[in-house]
Amino acid sequence: MWILPWGYREGWTICTGLTLTGLAMQNFVGEFDVAAMPYPVNVAACAILAVVAVTVHALSRKYVVFRWFSSPQASITALAFVLFMSVIEGLGVATINSWAFTLVFAYLLLVLAAVVMRRLRKPKLKRDAGFVFSHAGLLLALVAASLGSGDLQRLRMTVARDAAEWRAANERNELVELPLAIELKSFDIDEYPPELMLIDNETGETLPRGKPTNVLIEACPTVLSLSDWEIEVVRYLPAAASVMTKDTAFFTEFLSEGATSALFAKARHKTTGVSSEGWVSCGNHVFPYRSLRLSDDESLIMPPRKPKRFASEVRVYSKEGESRESVIEVNRPLKYEGWKIYQLSYDESRGKWSHTSVFELVRDPWLPAVYAGIFMMLVGAIFLFLSSTENQTYNKKNKE
């Protein structure tokens, strides 16, 4: 080992050495904390990486040893270690924030940078374009994503209706004051039609065991089949209130805040012919839920309504006193003052009648660099796709 030219063995040894060093540091320094690397520490780390990479590249002209860092053997061994550590992470052992992973990852970046610089020494457009797009793109995306996470801010803001909020909680649950404020004008949920399911009376398990089925009530009146039961939905009240009488409860239309949904169903067992009828409701924070007992074993229930879309109508204010109205919904964040504001959640116990909306606010100044890297990788992937046919001729040439 260590006799020139280097090969796989040296690669494995370097990576093992880095891993052991990382494990030792873990003992003495503690967990590697990305959040402890905000600007300018991350920029300094980036500069150090660049200086080391350029030095390795410059020395590789003169010394064979340094040329090894841009070899496939170096790439393969580094990739194998990253693969190994992500598998461990995938198995549930936190690895990503460890020193071992950080060192191996930094080493992979160094190898990647050396590879890119070597290829760019005498570039030929046709031969090297795909290579450079995928490798440089990956390098850019990885550097920006890893070092940029020190500057990434993700905050959670809960806003009550008709109130404005300018503070949000970070991951450690500390309140942070923001240069912007959000006023919640209204919060809306569109729901999917109600569903019906069967449950076991004793255990409350959904039936059939293991693979519960449900039916969506899209029309009324309607007849559907659920396991061994034929169910006729006679009436459906999208906004209902339950009314208690002396010995029973029924539902009536109720068009105001706090309404729940209910339907009246008749069920008949397909083989035994046993039948029963009654109201079924999912209930909410105001009205109790109601199930229909079909037999000694089974009951018909309506699970909580599923949201189809939820959105907040807001007015956002900047520190300078400017403001603007907008709608924020899932998959449609709002960009404002360098922040992206996401619809995250709401008061789930109140569901449709939630008076609060929960937003996530994200600021990531390194994002454009990550996106540039991603874009380059996409171009690189197109080249890789096209090269799948060239590779045949490449092999033929090799044979000759």
Residues in contact with another protein by the rule CB under 8 A = 71-73, 75-76, 79-80, 82-83, 86-87, 89-92, 96, 134, 145, 152, 154, 192, 195, 211-214, 216, 306-310, 329-333, 340, 342, 344, 360, 362, 364, 367, 370-371, 374, 377-378, 380-382, 384-385, 387-389, 391-392, 395, 398-399
Of 127 and 332, CB closest to another protein: 332
CB 374, min distance to another protein, A? 5
Q: How far is the CB of 167 from another protein (least distance, A)?
A: 18
Pick 185 or 308: Cβ nearer another protein: 308
Q: How far is the CB of 113 from another protein (least distance, A)?
A: 16
Q: Which residues contact 359 (CB under 8 A, 6 or more apart)?
A: 156, 157, 158, 159, 168, 182, 312, 328, 341, 342, 343, 344
Question: What gap in Å lies between CA 174 and CA 139, rounded to an integer?
Answer: 34
| Cα distances (Å, whole numbers) of residue 225 to 96, 196, 230, 303 | 49, 10, 5, 17
Find the shortest distance in angstroms from Cβ 169 to another protein.
14
Q: Nearest 5 degrees, angle CA 301-CA 302-CA 306?
A: 150
Give the shortest CB-397-to-another protein separation in angstroms.
Answer: 11
Is the distance from CB of 274 to CB of 242 less than 8 angstroms?
Answer: no
Q: Which is nearer to another protein, 277 or 360 (CB)?
A: 360
CB of 370 to another protein, least distance (A): 7
- Shortest spacing between CB 365 and another protein, in angstroms: 14
Whether 254 and 241 have beta carbons less than 8 Å apart is answered as yes
Tell the smallest beta-carbon distance from residue 79 to another protein (Å): 5
Asked whether 274 and 295 are in contact (CB, 8 A), the reply is yes
* Nearer of residues 95 and 276 to another protein, judged by Cβ: 95
Residues 197 and 212 sit within 8 Å (Cβ to Cβ): yes
**What single-letter amino acid sits at 118?**
R
- Interacting residues of 175 by C-beta distance below 8 A, sequence separation 6+: 167, 168, 169
Closest CB to another protein among residues 218, 322: 218
Phi, psi (degrees; rounded to nearest 5) at 244? -90, 130
262, 281 Cβ separation under 8 angstroms: yes
CA distance 90 to 301: 37
Task: Please give the Cα distance from 294 to 300 (Å, whole number).
Answer: 7
What's the 3-state SS for 296-365? CCEEEECCCCCEEEEEEEEEEEECCCCEEEEEEECCECEEECCEEEEEEEECCCCHHHCCEEEEEEEECC
152/369 Cα distance (integer angstroms): 13
Strands 339-346 and 307-318: unpaired
Q: Which is nearer to another protein, 80 or 120 (CB)?
A: 80
Query: What is the nearest approach in angstroms of another protein to the Cβ of residue 201?
Result: 20
> Among residues 215 and 249, whose Cβ is nearest to another protein?
215
Q: Which is nearer to another protein, 124 or 399 (CB)?
A: 399
Nearer of residues 217 and 262 to another protein, judged by Cβ: 217
Which residue, 198 or 241, has its beta carbon nearer to another protein? 198
Least separation in angstroms between residue 41's CB and another protein is: 21
